[in-house]
Structure 1
Amino acid sequence: MKSWWLLILLALPAPGLASGRAGDELLVFAAASLQEAMDDAGAAWQARSGQRVRVSYAGSAALARQLERGAPVDVFVSADAAWMDYLQARGLVDPASRFDLAGNALVLVAPRDRPAAVALEPAALLAALGPRGRLVLADTGSVPAGRYARQSLRTLGLWQALHGRRAETDSVRAALSFVARGEAPLGIVYATDARVEPRVVVVARLPAGSHDAVRYPVARAGMAPAARSAGFLAFLRGDEMRDALRARGFMVP
């Protein structure tokens, strides 16, 4: 009996720590399409301030749900306004800290060994997909990249034409991976995703006016201490971060 109690006591977190986090460590939830840019930001801020930044990447929907369930996050970066609005309406982010970090565009990609341009019209897309291929995109019901893609395909009159020829994934990076591995002949991803994956090539660009503007809002999680993230949030708004985002292909507001 005593040995079981000892094991339980050893498993408990030490006083002053939350899930193994140091007191001033910053936990950031960020949309998967921001991975390289936020890795850069975290490293730059840690080098400047000494504060460790840990970033968790996934689809915005999954991250918002984790925050809603009480994940001990300090900063949330979404790939659309809708999920930030969702959290703000529930008092889970601080509206006074909210700002738009960057913008993006949507592109149609193919494996690099099939680099021919593809017209955004039904016959051309179906021909590029072949008899069994599917257009892969992020979940159109919850993931921002998928919702933007659905809007664009509907505006362009392509949604119904591609019925039964679409495959949805849990994040835009997952969609990118399917195309990069040659498991899908076409995919819709962000322009910045295509830049970081050498195994794909852009074969068409979806018109900006065919979908809502792609925005990445940032805010402090409402229950997190403001002092812990204040410096990092200021850094994200500064010229160094703006230049880094431009260098990676993002649009800066």
Structure 2
Amino acid sequence: MRSQLWRVWRSLALVMAVSAMVACSPIAPAAQEAAPDNPVQPELVVFAAASLTDAFQAIGETFAAEHDAVVTFNFAGSQQLAQQLSGGAPADVFASANARQMEAAVGTGRIDAGTIQTFAHNRLVVVTPADNPGEIATLADLARPGIKLVLADSAVPVGQYSLDFLAKAIAQGEMEEGYDEAVLANIVSYENNVRTVLAKVVLGEADAGIVYSSDVTGEERNRVQIIDIPDALNVVASYPVAPLQDSAHPELAAAFVDYLRSARGQATLAEYGFIPITTE
């Protein structure tokens, strides 16, 4: 009987000793867990005019690889992007297709006017569907009754540039009086960005449209016919860019702007039909 009590007592003592050791053992906090091998990459958010889509995607891929970052683009009409910035949308860089929308962004207080730099130029061309159903051969044909023309809205940079072209055609005597009014009477729709203008022409929803020359490079060139606008009547579009003052990654934003103006950035832009800037 006594030996049985002793065995019970010894078992209880062993259990109590083990419990005490466990209670006194330190517990590693979650913060001491092994750090991940790959830290989170910074994300650069770039607001860019729709006409920059192809060129910027190529530039973004190279820039992201070289800076170990993620580059996220928001492509839209410059006027839409300026409105989004005015509403507080987070962004690091704004690349516009004209000075007007960049000035609007400056007015929000989010961009310092002193940081704005031009990084590219562009010019206008007239495009028709590949089969050219309207039989448009010259600029004068745009005023022919019954022609279906599509333009970007005047609030969109390319839309305003298109109106400037029509005004120059009259002012310089290249077209008869009333040419601009006849052309405007043929417009069947106004679009929010240049890519939509091109898409409607490609799909045959219009006989012609006015877009940037950079919009009809590569495969798109085979899907339309192009009618050049002479230099005397054309409008040179200038593209400004600037970092946002409230950028989450100011150094990365500045580096992206510098890359656009670098020899490599200019070469890529030229490859996609943009006119390089002159060295300042």
Q: Distance in 2 between matches of 1:231 and 1:163?
A: 43
TM-score (norm 2): 0.75
Q: Is the 2:120–2:269 contact (alpha carbons within 8 Å) kept by the matching residues of 1?
A: yes
Q: Distance in 1 between matches of 2:254 and 2:168?
A: 40
1:99-138 equivalence runs, <5 A? 99-114=117-132, 118-121=137-140, 124-127=141-144, 131=146, 133-138=147-152
Larger Rg computed on CA atoms: 2
1:137-152 equivalence runs, <5 A? 137-140=151-154, 142-152=155-165
* 2:245 aligned partner: 222
Q: Is the 1:118–1:125 contact (alpha carbons within 8 Å) kept by the matching residues of 2?
A: no
Q: Is the 1:99–1:219 contact (alpha carbons within 8 Å) kept by the matching residues of 2?
A: yes
Deviation, structure 1 residue 161:
1.4
Q: Which amino acid aligns with 1:246?
A: A
* 1:12 aligned partner: none
1:33-112 equivalence runs, <5 A? 33-112=51-130
1:80-112 CA-to-partner distances (Å, cap 9, x unmatched) read 011111222332212333211100010000011
Q: Which amino acid aligns with 1:134?
A: K
TM-score (norm 1): 0.83
Query: Which 4+ residue blocks in structure 1 deviate beyond 3 angstroms?
Result: 207-212
Q: How has the CA–CA distance of structure 1 residues 147 and 249 changed in structure 2, closer, same or farther, with 3 Å as cutoff?
A: same
Deviates further, 44-53 or 92-101: 92-101
* 1:153 aligned partner: 166
**Equivalent position SS for 2:118:** strand
Q: Is the 1:101–1:217 contact (alpha carbons within 8 Å) kept by the matching residues of 2?
A: yes
- Please state if 1:165 is matched with 2:182: no
Q: Which amino acid aligns with 2:195?
A: R
* 2:261 aligned partner: 237
Name structure 2 gaps, 5 residues minimum.
1-39, 171-178
Q: Distance in 1 between matches of 2:273 and 2:81?
A: 24
Answer 1 or 2: which has greater helix percent. 2
1:1-16 equivalence runs, <5 A? none
Q: Is the 2:41–2:68 contact (alpha carbons within 8 Å) kept by the matching residues of 1?
A: no
Deviation, structure 1 residue 212:
4.7
Q: Which amino acid aligns with 1:248?
A: Y
Q: CA RMSD in A?
A: 1.9
1:121-165 CA-to-partner distances (Å, cap 9, x unmatched) read 2xx2244xx63x42111001x100000001111221332112431
Name structure 1 gaps, 5 residues minimum.
1-21
Q: Is the 2:41–2:70 contact (alpha carbons within 8 Å) kept by the matching residues of 1?
A: no
Q: Distance in 2 between matches of 1:23 and 1:89?
A: 31
* 1:24 aligned partner: 42
Q: Distance in 1 between matches of 2:101 and 2:234?
A: 17
Q: Distance in 2 between matches of 1:176 and 1:93?
A: 31
The percentage of counterpart residues that share the same residue type is 36
Q: Distance in 2 between matches of 1:221 and 1:35?
A: 20
Deviation, structure 1 residue 213:
2.6
